[in-house]
Structure 1
């Protein structure tokens, strides 16, 4: 689970330091940097996924998570002389321990349940390079960086500021060659594991980083339109697609596997498809929902809904757009493995205010029951108000909910931590957060009064 992200010089952010909760809400004005927080995490994810190990950062393309152009486009104020810096910290699902290769099998070198990784990217001789990588774990920092500024030879070091057992990397005398720099922005060079006798554990840290990145899933703000027919060959997609285009495939895959979900507590488990239908009904969008094959062996399926208890059944294409808009969000939240991190960008688009509030309940419920982390970028006042209400009702802990307001000052993004107390109250409500509601009401009343007065005197 993501714990903290620090970024310097990315898009509108001169500097960003954000802590995440089990549910995190990013609110704010247009072009205020909200989406950039998600984009940076996706940049790291697609860089990890890149097959080209020589690629420092994968800024993406049309079919990838994000398409950021180039370093010049992504760096703050397009200042290519600046370096992009970041640090990401995450919590492991369980504590890990690393044994001492020089001691007994029971000797533990390091142990912990939190890891952080930090790196940089900068332009050097018209090429993008990353020449510093550091992992922090168990009270120690393991770093690779140039021996001196501008050098092409690197040092691998370990340090601890606390009074812990000292640790030093032991050089293999038969491997006296120079050490190269980091690979991508999260990997130590292979030579780091072969030139040193006690460095194999670095691979564990790299593996945990990649596992964390693999556990991040994303749903974009624009949904694929519903289809009259959905082909499915029996494959299990990894997610629902960037635009939710694979939501029906994921739903069918989970159904065939016999997966079940529940609402927590003593509630009964429901088949996967029934759980999705339950939420669609709970949100007030439909009375019933099911996926059925058009004909035996056809590998073509239809999504059928019944809007009202006495109304006729219809295809998903023939009912309001809200159902097809929210369906991918519901499927993704229930489909991803327990413990995953789900990034959702404006999931409220095309949804009625009451459904937006209900979607907030879905997010809170699934995060709690399935141990998910959900990070939502939104403009919805109704979702925010529902988050507050559930805290006030003691149905969700304020400590597990992080809410932020993003804004820009002179083109630089700013972040305000909304101080949510145990009663669901926000102590530092930003000015004109969702517009000036009281002014709108006041001016409307004044206009009505003027018109009524004018009508009496005419």
Structure 2
């Protein structure tokens, strides 16, 4: 789970400051304020980690990648190419990591969290190049081990504290420069007798990014027929295009979930159908092959008790837009980080509020008797979603420490992010100006307009 994020000199962000992320993190903000760019950088980090080319520092994207961010100039704050893109990630590991110094058995370093700081600069061709990166292994608030790797001109360097790296015997080959934004080259590691543990930091970073998923604000249109040949997609796709194959795959695997300890376990498709009904969108939901032994499937909906079953394409657009968000929240592997943009789009206000209950359930859900430990980072414009979230905190359904809320706005041309303080009573203690528009101004002006209209009609009646 990501616990901290900081981004500097990327898109609209000169500096986000350190963002503390909870299992359920919600980011509100005005249009074009820069909130989506936060997730876009993480997508760029993921596609870089997936890239076979180890020399590519930061893959900004192309037509075949998860996201295409353009050129370095397109990405840098203020389009000032002499700046460096910097970012900090801190995340909780699945289990505590123990580093042993193979040259001194008494030296061990432990931590349950790993932090990564990276600085990316443009080369002469204005292509991203890693200037330096730094890992910190942390145990609570204590930093137990720090490793820095970077380049100055044509020379590269590698430092580790308090563990001292010992050069391998033989010819003193120079250290290779960093690979990607987080990776040590194999040749660099071979220069030292006791640097093998650095590969563990690389693997932990790749594991984090491999389990980062993104769902965009516009989902695929519903289809009359869906094809599934037995494959197991890793997620529902950036636009939800793999939602139905994901449901079929999870059901075929026999996956069963429940909403928490002591709650009833259900097969994946029944679990999703139950949430659709509870959201108030439909009465029943089913996915069936169009004929025996066929790989084509149709999604059938019963909107209300006693009404005929119809295809997904023949009901309101909202269900096809919320279904990918619902499935994504429970389908991806345990320990995943999910970034969703506007999951409430095309939904009735009541359903937007109910969606908060779905996401609270997603961070509390269990599978095979174990907590799924899913983290959700939600971009939203819905005050109904927020109101329900505040209510559930007040009711004790979710703890304030399990929720982080941010508001993004523009100040002097730069994006600005403000953490909102949510207390145990569900109150936001530092409500920002114009959070959801100025409701009181609308009410006041409506009352004044109504008073003027009544006065004018009264005057007209007197003249008659």
Q: Same-fold call, TM > 0.5? A: yes
Q: Distance in 2 between matches of 1:304 and 1:158?
A: 59
Unaligned 5+ residue runs, structure 1?
160-165
The answer to whether the 8 A contact 1:134-1:141 is kept is: yes
Q: Which position in structure 1 is the counterpart of 2:146?
A: 141
Structure 2 counterparts to residues 212-251 of structure 1, below 5 A = 212-251=208-247
Q: Distance in 2 between matches of 1:286 and 1:175?
A: 71
C-alpha distance after superposition, 1:115-143 (max 9, x if no partner): 01111111122243112121111422111
Q: Secondary structure at the match of 1:445?
A: helix
Q: Secondary structure at the match of 2:448?
A: helix
Q: Distance in 1 between matches of 2:242 and 2:378?
A: 20
Q: Which position in structure 2 is the counterpart of 1:427?
A: 429
The answer to whether the 8 A contact 2:130-2:150 is kept is: no
Q: Distance in 2 between matches of 1:66 and 1:175?
A: 43
Q: Distance in 2 between matches of 1:284 and 1:453?
A: 44
The answer to whether the 8 A contact 2:118-2:130 is kept is: yes
Q: Is the deviation greater in 58-67 or in 402-411?
A: 58-67
Q: Distance in 1 between matches of 2:171 and 2:219?
A: 54
Q: Distance in 2 between matches of 1:273 and 1:392?
A: 31
- Residue 190 of structure 1 deviates from its aligned partner by 1.3
C-alpha distance after superposition, 1:310-355 (max 9, x if no partner): 2111000000011101111111111011221111011111111111
Q: Distance in 2 between matches of 1:324 and 1:350?
A: 10
The answer to whether the 8 A contact 2:101-2:163 is kept is: no
C-alpha distance after superposition, 1:421-447 (max 9, x if no partner): 111111111111101111111221222
**2:289 is aligned with 1:272:** no
Structure 2 counterparts to residues 373-392 of structure 1, below 5 A = 373-392=375-394
Structure 2 counterparts to residues 182-331 of structure 1, below 5 A = 182-331=178-327
Q: Which position in structure 1 is the counterpart of 2:141?
A: none
Q: Secondary structure at the match of 1:132?
A: strand
Q: Distance in 1 between matches of 2:171 and 2:249?
A: 50
Q: Which position in structure 2 is the counterpart of 1:413?
A: 415
The answer to whether the 8 A contact 1:175-1:195 is kept is: no
**2:405 is aligned with 1:403:** yes
Q: Which position in structure 1 is the counterpart of 2:330?
A: 334
**2:128 is aligned with 1:128:** yes
The answer to whether the 8 A contact 1:119-1:186 is kept is: yes
Q: Which position in structure 2 is the counterpart of 1:26?
A: 27
Q: Distance in 2 between matches of 1:223 and 1:241?
A: 9
- Residue 394 of structure 1 deviates from its aligned partner by 1.3
Q: Which position in structure 2 is the counterpart of 1:163?
A: none
The answer to whether the 8 A contact 1:2-1:20 is kept is: yes
Q: Which position in structure 2 is the counterpart of 1:350?
A: 346
Residue 361 of structure 1, aligned match among 334, 349, 357 = 357
Q: Is the deviation greater in 273-282 or in 438-447?
A: 438-447
Q: Secondary structure at the match of 2:340?
A: strand
Q: Distance in 2 between matches of 1:37 and 1:296?
A: 46
Q: Which position in structure 1 is the counterpart of 2:47?
A: 46
Number of residue pairs aligned between Structure 1 and Structure 2 = 447
> CA separation of 1:339/1:210 partners in 2, compared to 1, >3 Å: closer, same or farther?
same
Q: Secondary structure at the match of 2:415?
A: strand
- Residue 108 of structure 1 deviates from its aligned partner by 5.2
C-alpha distance after superposition, 1:377-411 (max 9, x if no partner): 11111111111111111111111110001011121
Q: Distance in 2 between matches of 1:265 and 1:167?
A: 43
Q: Is the deviation greater in 377-386 or in 445-454?
A: 445-454
Q: Secondary structure at the match of 2:16?
A: strand
Q: Distance in 1 between matches of 2:13 and 2:398?
A: 31
The answer to whether the 8 A contact 2:259-2:364 is kept is: no
- Residue 193 of structure 1 deviates from its aligned partner by 1.4
Q: Which position in structure 2 is the counterpart of 1:110?
A: 109
Q: Distance in 2 between matches of 1:118 and 1:22?
A: 22
- Residue 40 of structure 1 deviates from its aligned partner by 1.1
- Residue 61 of structure 1 deviates from its aligned partner by 2.5
Q: TM-score, normalised by structure 1?
A: 0.95
Unaligned 5+ residue runs, structure 2?
139-143, 366-371
